[in-house]
């Protein structure tokens, strides 16, 4: 559920949550909206939609407030990454087929991070992480993403960080999931 409240993040001390958005948020969320330039896979649309929901809760419509957006990092954390695109690329390579430019482009998780950063005019660092996952990879991915956010903020590379976790369903009947959290240092008061 999207949020405008400020609350501490329990995963990493020293960070406060400014906003949150997720996919799905309700049973009505059947498929994330299509994303121009990204094909075959739900991964990039998941990332973009969770980010949109979070950033809309924080800023309203794009772009972000320039004073904040210029120093906001974008961090994508996913244990599985874009498994659908990776499988399509592997099949094409194994068959000796030429890859289409869109598949090549979206095979890199930073592509959708760049899309989010450009759409919302976020000028901080862009980072992609792939932590080891357990039975439920979302908490592991979130913890790794928040840890990276804490480092970037503590080191002065960013004032805020948008941490996006996306995990595609790994079994029939499972659902793709994404979560985006906008955080800043708890040392800053509004």
95 part of a folded domain:
no
User: What CATH number is given to the structural domain containing 62?
Assistant: 3.40.47.10
Is the distance from CB of 8 to CB of 183 less than 8 angstroms? no
Residue 115 resides in a domain: yes
Q: Between these two residues, 81 and 149, which has the higher pLDDT value? A: 149
Helix (H, G, I), strand (E, B) or coil at 110: helix
How high is the mean pLDDT of the chain?
Answer: 83
* Residue 53, pLDDT above cutoff 60: yes
* 31-38 mean pLDDT: 80
In a domain, 178, yes or no: yes
Asked whether residue 60 is assigned to any structural domain, the reply reads: yes
The tally of domains found in the chain comes to: 1
How much is the pLDDT for 1? Answer: 39
DSSP string spanning 132-181?
A: ---SSHHHHHHHHHHHHHHHHHHTTS-SEEEEEEEE---STT---EEEEE
- Read off the pLDDT of residues 134-149 as tens digits, 9 standing for 90 and up: 666 677 888 899 999 9
Supply the range of the domain harboring residue 33: 7-82+110-185
Within a domain: 142: yes
Q: pTM, whole model, 2 decimals?
A: 0.84
Is the predicted pLDDT of residue 85 greater than 80, yes or no?
Answer: no
Comparison of pLDDT for 71 and 13, the residue scoring more:
71
Is residue 56 in a domain? yes
59 inside domain: yes
Residue 49 pLDDT greater than 70, yes or no? yes
d(CA 93, CA 89): 6
Closest CA to 158 of 146, 166, 144, 142: 146
pLDDT of residue 107: 62
Lowest-pLDDT range, 83-92, 110-119, 143-152? 83-92
CB 157 within 8 A of CB 125: yes
Residue 138's pLDDT is 74
Q: Could you tell me if 126 and 117 are in contact, meaning their C-beta atoms sit under 8 angstroms apart?
A: yes
């Amino acid at each position: 559920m999207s949020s405008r409240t400020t609350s501490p993040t329990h995963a990493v001390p020293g960070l406060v949550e400014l906003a949150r958005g997720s996919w799905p948020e309700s049973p009505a969320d059947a498929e994330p909206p299509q994303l121009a330039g990204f094909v075959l896979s739900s991964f990039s649309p998941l990332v973009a939609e969770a980010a949109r929901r979070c950033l809309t809760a924080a800023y309203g419509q794009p772009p972000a407030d320039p004073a904040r957006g210029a120093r906001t990092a974008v961090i994508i954390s996913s244990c599985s990454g874009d498994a659908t695109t990776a499988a399509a690329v592997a099949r094409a390579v194994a068959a000796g087929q030429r890859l289409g430019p869109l598949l090549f482009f979206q095979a890199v998780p930073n592509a959708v991070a760049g899309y989010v950063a450009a759409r919302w005019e976020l000028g901080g660092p862009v980072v992609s992480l792939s932590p080891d996952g357990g039975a439920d990879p979302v908490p592991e991915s979130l913890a790794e993403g928040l840890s990276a956010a804490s480092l970037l903020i503590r080191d002065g590379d960013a004032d805020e960080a948008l941490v996006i976790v996306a995990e595609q369903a790994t079994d029939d009947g499972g659902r793709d999931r994404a979560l985006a959290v906008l955080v800043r240092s708890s040392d800053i008061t509004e």
